[in-house]
Chain A
Amino acid sequence: GNSVTQMEGPVTLSEEAFLTINCTYTATGYPSLFWYVQYPGEGLQLLLKATKADDKGSNKGFEATYRKETTSFHLEKGSVQVSDSAVYFCALKSNYQLIWGAGTKLIIKP
């Protein structure tokens, strides 16, 4: 069946460091892929998405490219800020539902 695997956290970085959070998926066909972010005490927010192979989603300095060859959708940011501290979820769309990874907690230290 369809599934999403993302790197375990927590990931701890210093401010202005480069961020990569790995996400790989297993799916039939070419599902749409998403990154959601959950800030402390808040609900899930859509961060970015990609709907077909080689698409690059981007928002707030974050980027992710839909790689069909490696079935990956890694999240990257060139320079993280303390305000980026949150839990990040990778997800894929399968029929009507979203299938989620377990989430990666990101901690940014000043």
Chain B
Amino acid sequence: DAGVTQSPTHLIKTRGQQVTLRCSPKSGHDTVSWYQQALGQGPQFIFQYYEEEERQRGNFPDRFSGHQFPNYSSELNVNALLLGDSALYLCASSLRLGPSYNEQFFGPGTRLTVL
């Protein structure tokens, strides 16, 4: 049973560029959440997607956008990169319904470095 997968593992970009990160949820999961984890800190919620729509959004600017595909996989796009966007980006998948609906399963993350 494949867990949550993310690509790429590492990414280096320069200020002003755009980046796309990808996530495949755990088999059977229909909901994807994205988090940003700065070094030495806890993750911060960016947004959550369900049924191809953004269901909730955290305190992040419009430069951060996302998409969910019919197969439940998801992309996170960040435009006009800033140095402060350097972080580990985590994808988590979950089920909207069922006894485990509260549990989010995390991928290994994508380490983004902005120079």
Q: List A residues at the B interface (Cβ < 8 Å).
A: 4, 32, 36, 42-46, 49, 51, 89, 91, 93, 95-103
Contacts and interface: CB of A to CB of B under 8 A. Distances in A.
Interface string B29-63: 00101010000111111001000000110100000
B61 to A, nearest CB: 17
A100 B108 contact: no
Given A49-B102, A98-B92, 13 more contacts: A4-B42, A32-B102, A43-B4, A43-B108, A44-B92, A46-B103, A49-B103, A89-B43, A93-B102, A98-B33, A100-B42, A101-B42, A102-B40
Contacts of B105: 46
Given A49-B103, A93-B102, A103-B41, A42 B56 contact: no
Contact of B42 (A45, A46, A51, A103): A103
A99 to B, nearest CB: 7
Contacts of A103: 40-42
Interface in B68-107: 90, 92, 102-107
Interface of B: 4, 31, 33, 35, 40-45, 48, 55-56, 58, 90, 92, 102-109
B103 A97 contact: no
Given A98-B45, A101-B42, A43 B56 contact: no
6 contacts: A43-B4, A44-B92, A49-B102, A49-B103, A89-B42, A103-B41
A96 B33 contact: yes
Contacts, number: 53
Contacts of A44: 43, 90, 92, 106
Contacts of A36: 106
A99 B108 contact: no
A97 to B, nearest CB: 4
Contacts of B35: 98
Contacts of A99: 45
Nearest to A4: B42
Contacts of A95: 56
Which of B42, B45, B48, B92 has most chain A Cβ within 10 Å?
A: B42
